[in-house]
Amino acid sequence: MLPLITTTALSVMLDGPPEGRPTLLDVRWRLGGPPGIEAYQAGHLPQAVYVDLDTALAAAPGEGGRHPLPEPGQLQAHLRAAGVHEGHPVVVYDDADGSIAARAWWLLRWAGHTEVAVLDGGFAAWQAEGKPVTTEVPVPEPGDIEVRPGQMPVLDADEAAELAREGVLLDARARPRYAGEVEPIDPAAGHIPGALNAPFSAHAAENGRWRTPDELKAHFAELGVTESGNVGAYCGSGVTASSVVLALEVAGHPGAALYTGSWSHWSRDPKRPVATGDAPG
């Protein structure tokens, strides 16, 4: 599957033969709430199963950051409970811009499941087009996915620091947090020295639809990403940075690395250097 799917293409798949209908995962989530399950209960795509970011797509907060990678067995159990089958297509969606759904997309790819796409425009686009929405909660047939971790590249803190100096490390947070002007959550304000600010909001237009591959390619070219460039991404806790990896793939740069602990991990250690201001440092 391509990494993004349109509402039209998804509608065709859902209306097609049962064997080709994708498993739908609703992963709506907002930093600071309200809980995504409330949005799901108010209305979701037919047959979509809610998957909680905090409990299914991450381990408990701790030394690894606010959203560490889940244990493979934990992830496999949640995905099977959601009806994910080995080799069967999966479509994930969030409210609109894909920045949260990308976490599920990335984890499935990391787990070795390649048949996964993010719904372009998310629930907002689906609903705006008058496509069917329901409050009925499905009971999926248990899946049989085998989680094979390590199929997407990851960075630890030392590797992220090295990449910021020798390649391109993109910080997906909004500029004020990158610059260290504000930090509402983590222990220190600022960014990894050498990292470039690349807010995830640049991937989508105001309507939540993703920009074209050519537009994204031009965007990343301005940040120094080349065809052969060594590139990785991080954010606050490893969630929205997943959408940078997704956007890079859409732009023709597959295989970007993700610093899964991100700033919530980096800033836990006061010995790690911190840069502030708009310059990489």
Catalytic residue numbers read: 235
**Rounded to an integer, what distance in angstroms lies between the CA atom of residue 193 and that of residue 157?**
12
Structure-block tokens of residue 146: 């085998």
- Amino acid at position 38, single letter: E
Task: List the strands of the sheet with 154-155, edge to edge.
Answer: 154-155, 257-259, 231-234, 168-171, 196-197
Contact 276, 137 (CB under 8 A): no
Q: Tell which residue, 251, 111, 101, has the closest CA to residue 170.
A: 251
End-to-end CA distance of the chain: 39
Angstrom CA distances, 12 to 6, 114, 127, 136, 192, stand at 10, 20, 16, 21, 44
167 touches 224 (CB < 8 A): no
Q: What angle do CA 34, 36, 39 make, to 5 degrees?
A: 90
Helix (H) or strand (E) holding 49: strand 49-50
Instruction: Give dist(CA 280, CA 195) in Å, integer.
Output: 5
Could you tell me the maximum CA-CA distance found in the chain, to the nearest angstrom? 57
